[in-house]
């Protein structure tokens, strides 16, 4: 297992933003991972760093990165995957076995652990539709536990994992057989949508900035509030979809938070709706960032 101190995390984040982490661990299997979880008292677990705003000031704690945990197995219509398996990879592999249900993962730059954590979804599909059970680490008891789908408290971009008590180790899915041409059509539709509407990672971003309010779209609200015109020195709102922020090259975490607050206030002023961030802030905050986070997050950030 690789262990690195004073590690520059910026190249690993999809925003290409982030400072130095005191210590970062790269477990390669479940045994190494669970050993770390029992040993460390202060840690944050991350996958592809694709839905996070990582502090430019770094993090004076421990990060466990799961991306070296790549094991998965397909048995009939059942799929078993470690938390670090890349979403597009597992989507492609099951499609090769004529299995449907994970087509939506083909365009997501995350891992299975993150997908389960936030009940990821797109185009009418989501993790809750196909998940059977999860193998979790209980941070309170330091034991491995299993939860069935009905125990995961899934809702829109939410699961029991939001409580912070559990860490995803692996997940089991039940898929359905389908004609290859049907699966391919779904995957192509998902990829084409992302290519035409959403920014690619060539324009560093961390996915959707805000969650959709009930029965509405954050992108629609932001568009109507004029957010597509928001363009600051180092960050801007994507001109094809108002719910994405792009790093223009030298952005800091504070730059992103400032633009998020501008977007948040625009929707609040026009519709009296307070959007909820989908992206999670991680790391050590400056005084200014503390103020900005207090506006945006009514729940805790990861620190």
Domains in the chain, start-ordered, CATH in brackets?
2-65 (3.30.43.10), 72-195 (3.30.465.10), 218-296 (3.90.78.10)
Catalytic, 298? Answer no
pLDDT per residue as tens digits for the range 135-190: 999 999 999 999 999 999 999 999 999 999 999 999 999 999 999 999 999 999 99
Catalytic, 78? Answer no
Which of 56, 91, 159, 208 is an active site residue?
Answer: 208
Give residue 218's Cα distance to chain centre.
Answer: 17
Identify which of 54, 7, 75 has the alpha carbon closest to the alpha carbon of residue 204. 54
pLDDT for the residue numbered 302: 54
Say whether pLDDT at 300 is over 60: no
Which of 48, 50, 91, 157 is an active site residue?
Answer: 157
pTM over 0.75: yes
Q: Where are the alpha helices (DSSP H) in the chain?
A: 30-39, 87-95, 112-117, 127-130, 180-197, 218-224, 253-271, 287-296
Q: Is 64 left (phi over 0), alpha (psi -120 to 50) or beta?
A: beta
Q: What percent of the chain has pLDDT above 70?
A: 98
pLDDT per residue as tens digits for the range 246-257: 999 999 999 999
Catalytic, 50? Answer no
């Amino acid at each position: 297992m690789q262990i690195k101190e004073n590690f520059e995390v910026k190249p690993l984040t999809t925003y290409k933003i982030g400072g130095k982490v005191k210590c970062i661990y790269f477990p390669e299997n479940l045994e190494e991972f669970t050993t770390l979880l029992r040993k460390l008292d202060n840690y944050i677990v991350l996958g592809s760093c694709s839905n996070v705003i990582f502090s430019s000031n770094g993090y004076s704690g421990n990060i466990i990165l799961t991306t070296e945990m790549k094991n998965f197995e397909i048995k009939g219509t059942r799929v078993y995957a470690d938390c670090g398996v890349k979403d597009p990879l597992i989507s492609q592999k099951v499609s090769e076995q004529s299995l449907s249900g994970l087509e939506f993962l083909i365009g997501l730059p995350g891992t299975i652990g993150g997908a389960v954590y936030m009940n990821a979804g797109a185009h009418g599909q989501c993790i809750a539709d196909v998940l059977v059970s999860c193998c979790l680490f209980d941070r309170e008891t330091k034991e491995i536990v299993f939860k069935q789908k009905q125990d995961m408290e899934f809702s829109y971009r939410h699961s029991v994992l939001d409580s912070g008590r559990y860490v995803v180790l692996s997940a089991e899915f039940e898929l359905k057989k389908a004609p290859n041409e049907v699966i391919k059509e779904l995957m192509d539709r998902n990829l084409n949508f992302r290519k035409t509407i959403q920014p690619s990672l060539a324009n560093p971003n961390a996915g959707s900035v805000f969650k959709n309010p009930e029965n509405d779209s954050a992108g629609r609200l932001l568009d109507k509030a004029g957010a597509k015109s928001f363009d600051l020195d180092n960050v801007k709102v994507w001109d094809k979809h108002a719910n994405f922020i792009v790093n223009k090259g030298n952005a800091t975490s504070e730059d992103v938070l400032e633009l998020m607050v501008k977007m948040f206030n625009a929707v609040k002023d026009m519709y009296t709706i307070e959007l909820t961030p989908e992206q999670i802030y991680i790391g050590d905050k400056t005084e200014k960032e503390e103020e900005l986070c207090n506006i945006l997050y009514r729940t805790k950030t990861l620190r």
